[in-house]
Amino acid sequence: MKKEKKKRLIKPYDPNKKTIFKDFKAFISRGNVIQLAVGVIIGAAFSAIISALVNHILMPVIGLAVNGGLDSFYTILPNSVLSDVPGEGVLGNDGNWYTSLSKIDWGLLINAVINFLLIAVILFALIKTFAAIQKANDAQKAKWLEAHYQKHPELRPVPVDPGIPEPTDHEILKEILSVLKEQKDTQPNK
């Protein structure tokens, strides 16, 4: 009688085999993913700061210049229902009372555009500042390396010779065509 091997439900651990956990660990530990997560979190906090700046500082100042602020910028739609009793319902910017007021809020749109523009301008300034700092750091590092190589020229890496560039497909095809023409010219006519 032959002994039959039982199928194992759990496979033995193979350290060389990739698992979902290892793939996920490799994916999450890459610098770009972590930087993206930090950027999203900082962006959300930054958006809250800008929203507070717009809603609590800029809009009251605009409210001084524009009577009632941007909240009073809306268009009443024709399907709004006038109230029979003055003082009941919602007061429209036209001075009438409405039991049901349908409107297009232009002020909210202007508020959102101002919010977006402020975020865009401030982020642009931050990115330019960080780029300038990075450029200065790179220049300082290059200056330090050059000073180091001046003192220790034997440590300077040897420049790599790029050599002859690889021929392009077009050049290879031209060469093949010329070889075929030569072969055709050297063959006797039949």
- The ranges assigned to domains in the chain are 20-151
3-state SS, the chain, equals: CCCCCCCCCCCCCCCCCCCHHHHHHHHHCCHHHHHHHHHHHHHHHHHHHHHHHHHHHHHHHHHHHCCCCHHHCEEECCCCEECCCCCCCEECCCCCEEEECCEEEHHHHHHHHHHHHHHHHHHHHHHHHHHHHHHHHHHHHHHHHHHHHHHCHHHCCCCCCCCCCCCCHHHHHHHHHHHHHHHHHHCCCC
What's the pLDDT at 103?
82
Please state the pTM of the whole predicted model. Answer: 0.51
* C-alpha count within 13 angstroms, C-beta hemisphere, residue 126: 10
Per-residue pLDDT of the chain (190 residues; tens, 9 = 90+): 556 666 666 666 666 666 777 777 777 777 677 788 888 898 888 888 888 887 788 878 877 887 767 777 878 777 788 777 777 777 776 777 887 778 888 888 888 888 788 878 888 888 899 899 999 999 999 999 999 999 998 888 888 777 788 889 999 999 999 999 998 888 776 5
Pick the CATH number of 20-151 from 1.10.40.60, 1.10.3720.10, 1.20.1070.10, 1.10.1200.120: 1.10.1200.120
Cβ atoms 73, 112 nearer than 8 A: no
